[in-house]
Copies of this chain bind each other. A is one copy, B any other.
Amino acid sequence: MDTLETRELRYFVAVAEELHFGRAAERLGMAQPPLSRAIQQLERRLGVCLLERNRRGVRLTGAGEVLLHEGRAALDATAAAARRTRRAGGADNPGGPRGRLVLAVKAAASHELLRKLLDAYAAEPGSAEIEVLPCGICEQEELLRDGRADVALMHTPWNSLAGFDSEALTTEGQVAVLPAGHPLAARATLSLADVRDVPDLPLARWPTHGTYAPGPGPEIHNQTQLAQLIALGRTVAVVPDSARSWLWAEHTAVPLTDAPPVVTHIVWPAHSRSLALAGLVRTAARL
């Protein structure tokens, strides 16, 4: 009578994202009429109008917005249930590996810490196998939510940690990375205002969920590209202390006095009950 099926949620999320029944149906691999009917049924069953059909296109109502957000969360949760169950399935042999953990890390961040953590955990008795999944910083939350990863190393203030359990591991300051020859590179320290307003060195921009904030600086896709652009004297970047390990000879790092400190956390889904995960977190907390 009143329990949503995941099929219905999948359909609605597709329509709400495309705002177009035809395209949504194509994405779902089905014809348009059954999709229309399914959405109508959904609206009737919920007793709520989800979409506003103007003759030209479709718009979300308030309730539609709510269902889009909540539905995505629910779909993530069911996908996570399936994935984690599948992964737990192989490890039914007692005495064998106590499961496998997937650890999501931002590519090339916290090398040092990651190495120490993996070594220390591998030395624990009865430790599980750890699969390291490199990814962009914005994907980590999604990976944890939909079960593709079990645990992640995240960095505030960039990641939000909302909805997860976490434990802080290390704190570090931030530095400005400048071309070695630049006048500012001679300074002992800088402030954020200093590096934001250099007319010949616009601040590099990183993508957030695939899109770039507006600004004069170049759009950065990866760390190598950033390093090159700095070396060429085209931009400046603000990065955590530990990033000094990948600097070139043509780079100079100057400490920033007023940049927010970067805290590395180990993060996992709040309801997790995995023994292997508990062991990894305990090991991390002892580092």
Chain A residues proximal to chain B, CB less than 8 Å: 2-7, 9-10, 46-50, 61-63, 65-67, 69-71, 73-74, 76-82, 84-86, 88-89, 91-92, 99, 147, 162-165, 269-271, 273
With both chains docked as a complex, state the minimum distance between the C-beta of A17 and any C-beta of chain B, in angstroms.
15
Whether B163 lies near A78 (C-beta < 8 A) is no
Min CB gap A117→B, angstroms:
22
**What is the bound-complex CA distance between A249 and B269, given in angstroms?**
48
Question: Looking at A61, A62, A162, which has the most chain B CB atoms within 10 Å of its CB?
Answer: A62
Contacts of A164 in B (CB 8 A): 163, 270
Bound-complex Cα distance A5 to B11 (A): 13
- Give the copy number: 2
Residues of B within 8 A of A65 (CB): 88, 273
Contact A5 B3 (CB under 8 A): no
Most chain B beta-carbon neighbours within 10 Å: one of A48, A69, A81: A81
**8 closest residue pairs by CB, A with B:** A163-B270, A48-B89, A70-B81, A74-B77, A162-B270, A66-B88, A74-B78, A77-B77
Instruction: Check if B89 sits within 8 Å of A47, measured CB to CB.
Output: yes
- Contacting pair B162 A271 (CB below 8 A): yes
Give A246 to B79 CA distance when docked, in angstroms.
Answer: 48
